[in-house]
Chains A and B, each alone.
Chain A
Amino acid sequence: MKLFKKITFTALAAVFAVTASFAGAASAAGSLSGKITINGSTALLPLTLQAAKEFQRLNPKVRIAASGKGSVTGPQAVKKGIADIGACDWDASIDVPGFKAFSGQVANKVAVIPFATIVNKNVGVDNLTTEQLRGIYSGKITNWKQVGGADADIVVITRAFGSGTRVNYQAKALAGGDIVKKEKNYKETGSSGDMKTAVATTPNAIGYIDLVYVSGDVKAVKHNGVAPTTQNVINGSYKVWAYGYYMTKGQPTGAVKAFIDYVQSKKFQQGSLKKLKFIPISAMK
């Protein structure tokens, strides 16, 4: 069982045996206290909460309060001063399609996030090309038979504007293609969980989601013939992925820096982060 708490010491002697009466000057470390507030990406929220739990064991007096409302709200919250860290699925310190850079903010890489195209389990299609996906999300392709499936209307599920998953999916899976709002067979969702639920419960639906959220109630399809797997992301064959970032107002300091350092540490990256099905940032060459 881990204590995690580190206590620094001022005296150190390389001795073989020490006894219960061994005493000396030592100082308490892990003495950080205060509150760290984090808002933004719902995709990064499970990672943030897991890291918060582990970091709190190192620093019991630190309160980490997190919330998720889509990536763009991360740097927005930092800019407004209502969060210390903005969790965002893109580097918000630079311009990306649809969003201007948040000047003065620093992007701290924390994870690699693969995204997958998912369909309802009644859909017979197993692979979609970039062009086919551009057609589906632009509204030019409306029936599954146009891409090798059954004769059934395609129900397009997308994330709402401001979602990092949407930004990255448009950039990587659609190669910059548009997502066009439609009058029918179209739905926008506000979170990764809502997206999965919508696709899982809507026959003939298509959507997209972080790979971590793919489970047996939806079907992940190949992209240009390549399966969305961690291995294919790492070996470079699967292109629909992005870094996840913690945005901060300038370089992080104090408890915020200590928390980001912990998330970026080998211990967390190779341990809990992988078990939550994210990919360590060091895995990408």
Chain B
Amino acid sequence: MKKNQWLSVLMASALLVSVSEASVSAAAGTGGGKPAAVKSSAKTAVKVKEGSAALTVNGALHTIKTIDAGGYRLYSVRQLAAALDAGLTTEAGSLVLTDNAGVHTIKLKAGSKAYTLDGVKRSFTTAPTVFGGKLYVELSSTVYGLGGELFGSPLQILGVARPQGEFDTIHWTADGSLLANREGEATEIYKFAPSPGSYSLFSTDSRAADFSVSDDRRFGAFTDETGQLLVIDLISGAVKPVGTDTSVKTDLTWSADGKTIYFIQGDKQEKISQISVDTGTVTELLADKVENKSELRVSADGKKAVYIINITGTAKNDADSTEDSLTVDYSKAGEQLYQLDLSVKDAKPAALTTSGDNKLYPEILADGTVVYLSADPDGKAPNTLKTLKPGGTFAEIPLDIEVVWAQEGAGGLIASGTASDGTARIYAVTTAGASKELFRTNRGISEIAVSGDGAKLGVISDGKVLEIENGKAVQLTK
């Protein structure tokens, strides 16, 4: 390349004249089709340095030519458009960039800071500049204008920006995607492919804001405000009713084969029932008139159910409900675990616990061991995972975290909690009690979903959706 070279370009309004580093100036053109010219000896001359940048665009590495001018780095518009899979055309003397989905359009002219984004006037900090016969543009304005996103160091670019907001309610699907609900006035369930920037709005059905997922991650079950049970296909999003029963149903739990959904039934959660997904037939499994059942779990072989009864306090008063006569005894209030043998008709439930600790997240492991989180309501002892072997022996699973959550998964248990250094950690725990750390972070963890094969975790951390595999987290939202 030569110094002081005069250039003309099609859209041209400005140019830089330089070798790899030279003093030049950029000036806006007058339009009208006449090429503009700039001399390197102009008073506003700036040094230009030609180079290249390695950018990861949509997960693939691209080398894109750059120029540094006036303190700003500009990027080859053709290479950038190609990397983003964006359209690049000319129209009435302007260069037109269109994103892959055809949603956003940038119209710009070389040498002009003014441009339009989706028809709205905008302004670049540095005008698009011609150098060496190529047009260079600002990176961030171009990427964001086309609906993309830049982040991280080293810099990474997404052709489609990750959705922004606070997310909750995360689930895996059979096709390896994650579903998560964006918090807000309206329900917005997004479906995320493993690579960032690849997502779609899956459902806006407020009834499906949360659901119980089948073991094969193919379907989710939920009820609406009438008590009607519905099933959503987690691949297609199609929703269909199951049966016609409209009694109150909570704690929906799928059978391992996906043909049956177990649930706590009744306005006082007094029954345990099941419904056939195919026929909608409801069958009562337990109607012992004991109220306030919850946290129903059914073993993989369908032979055993474990649930919690929330035992209420006892209030007494006289027939006139006088204040003086009122007494309330809370001494026996709290949660107790019960077990029901589903393989025996009309079996009576058996109490598994009598202790005064808080009990959460009961699970039945493959060997029949019942696991639950035990918390001290007096706040004096850390939360622990307790096991109850089929023979009736209690034990604790030793972990170096204060456990706050546990779920059956990966052939054993997935548990999370807070370590003494303040980090939040997730462990895989075998039925024998051996543990392996899967992930740790100094951020908050609010929800965890385990993939069907147990190899991946979906995590909501500080409202953001993370996919975790082999200890590495990919943030799918911002």
> Is B473 in contact with A57, judged by CB distance below 8 angstroms?
no
Q: 1/0 contact trace for B302-317 toward A, CB 8 Å?
A: 0000000010111111
Q: Say yes or no: B472 contacts A19, CB within 8 Å.
A: yes
A24 at the interface (CB under 8 A from B): yes
Whether the pair B330, A65 counts as a contact (CB closer than 8 A) is yes
- Sampled A-B contacts (25; CB under 8 Å): A3-B445, A7-B446, A11-B442, A15-B475, A16-B474, A17-B152, A24-B442, A26-B443, A34-B377, A34-B379, A53-B310, A60-B360, A61-B358, A62-B358, A62-B377, A63-B334, A66-B312, A67-B313, A67-B315, A69-B315, A162-B320, A213-B267, A271-B209, A275-B249, A277-B225
B376 engages A4 (CB within 8 Å): no
Q: Are A39 and B313 touching (Cβ within 8 A)?
A: yes
Closest-CB distance, B454 to chain A (whole angstroms)? 13
Partner of A16, one of B151, B250, B313: B151
B18-26, B232-240, B273-281, B402-410: which lies at the interface: B402-410
Size bracket, chain B contacts: 35 or more
The 6 A-B pairs of least Cβ separation, nearest first, read: A33-B379, A162-B321, A20-B471, A24-B442, A63-B377, A67-B313
Q: Taking beta carbons and an 8 Å cutoff, which residues of B are in contact with A?
A: 151-152, 156, 168-169, 196, 206, 209-210, 223-227, 247-250, 267-269, 292, 294-295, 310, 312-317, 319-321, 323, 326-328, 330, 333-334, 358, 360-361, 373, 375-379, 383, 402, 404-405, 407, 416, 418, 421-424, 437-450, 460, 462, 466, 471-475, 478
> Is A227 interfacial (CB 8 A cutoff)?
no
| A26 B442 Cβ-Cβ under 8 A | yes
The reply to whether A12 and B319 form a contact with Cβ atoms under 8 Å apart is no
Do residues A77 and B196 form an inter-chain contact, with CB atoms below 8 A? Answer: no
Instruction: Please tell me if A193 contacts chain B, counting CB pairs below 8 Å.
Output: yes
Judging by beta carbons under 8 Å apart, are A6 and B444 in contact?
yes
Contacts known (A1-B407, A73-B317, A80-B326); A8 close to B444, Cβ less than 8 A: yes
A230, CB-defined interface residue at 8 Å? yes
Q: Is the CB of A16 within 8 A of B196?
A: yes
Q: Are A275 and B248 in contact (CB under 8 A)?
A: yes
Question: Which B residues are CB-close (under 8 A) to A228?
Answer: none
Q: Are the C-beta atoms of B312 and A61 separated by less than 8 Å? A: no
Which of chain B's residues have a CB closer than 8 A to the CB of A267? 168
- A213, chain B: closest CB distance, angstroms: 5
Structural contact, B320 and A2, CB atoms closer than 8 A: no
Residues of B near A82 (CB, < 8 A) are: 326-328
CA of A83 to CA of B312, assembled, Å: 13
Kindly identify which residue among A6, A66, A274 contacts B446, using a CB–CB cutoff of 8 Å: A6
Chain A residues with CB under 8 A of B440: 20-23
- A19 nearest CB neighbor, chain B only: B472
Inter-chain CA distance A193–B266, complex, in Å, is: 11
By the criterion CB–CB under 8 Å, are B326 and A3 in contact?
no
Give the residue name and chain of the A residue nearest to B321 (CB): A162
- Assembled-state Cα–Cα distance A49/B424 (Å): 29
User: Which residues of A have CB within 8 Å of B169?
Assistant: 2
Instruction: Please measure, in the bound complex, the distance between the C-alpha atom of A37 and the C-alpha atom of B269, giving whole angstroms.
Output: 20
The answer to whether A73 touches B315, judged by C-beta atoms less than 8 angstroms apart, is yes
A residues less than 8 Å from B378 (CB atoms): 33-34, 61
Contact B152 A16 (CB under 8 A): yes
By a beta-carbon cutoff of 8 Å, the part of chain A in contact with chain B is 1-12, 14-30, 33-35, 37, 39, 45-46, 49-50, 52-53, 56-57, 60-63, 65-70, 72-73, 76-77, 79-80, 82-83, 160-162, 193, 212-213, 215, 230, 267, 270-272, 274-277
Tell me whether A23 and B377 are in contact (CB under 8 A). no
Nearest CB on B from A61, distance (A): 5
> Which residue of A5, A39, A49, A215 contacts B315 across the interface (Cβ within 8 Å)?
A39
A53 and B294 within 8 A (CB): yes
Which residue of B is nearest A16, CB measured? B152
Write the nearest CB–CB distance from B297 to chain A, whole angstroms: 11
A53 to B227, CA, bound (A): 20
Q: Which of A2, A23, A46, A53 contacts B267 (CB 8 A)?
A: A46
Contacts of B421 in A (CB 8 A): 23
Q: Which residues of B contact A53 (CB under 8 A)?
A: 294-295, 310
* Other A-B pairs, 20, CB within 8 Å; known A61-B378, A63-B334: A1-B448, A2-B168, A2-B169, A2-B447, A5-B446, A9-B462, A11-B443, A17-B472, A23-B423, A26-B424, A28-B402, A28-B418, A33-B379, A53-B295, A60-B383, A65-B334, A72-B321, A271-B210, A274-B225, A275-B223
Closest B residue to A31 by beta carbon equals B379
* A125 to B41 CA separation, bound complex (whole angstroms): 100
Residues of A within 8 A of B294 (CB): 49-50, 53
Q: Compute how far the CA of A8 lies from the CA of B321 in the bound complex, rounded to whole angstroms.
A: 45
**B69: shortest Cβ distance to chain A, in Å?**
29
Measured CB to CB, the nearest residue on chain A to B443 is A9
Contact B269 A76 (CB under 8 A): no
B residues less than 8 Å from A4 (CB atoms): 405, 446-447
**Do residues A61 and B375 form an inter-chain contact, with CB atoms below 8 A?**
yes
In the complex formed, the residue of B with least CB distance to A37 is: B330
Known contacts: A26-B443, A213-B267. The answer to whether A66 contacts B313 by CB under 8 A is: yes
A83 to B314 CA separation, bound complex (whole angstroms): 12
Q: A79 is contacted by which of B323, B377, B444 (Cβ under 8 Å)?
A: B323
What residues of A have a CB within 8 angstroms of the CB of B438 in the complex? Answer: 20
In whole Å, how far is A165's beta carbon from the nearest beta carbon of chain B? 13
Hey, which chain B residues are within 8 Å of A19, CB to CB? Answer: 471-473
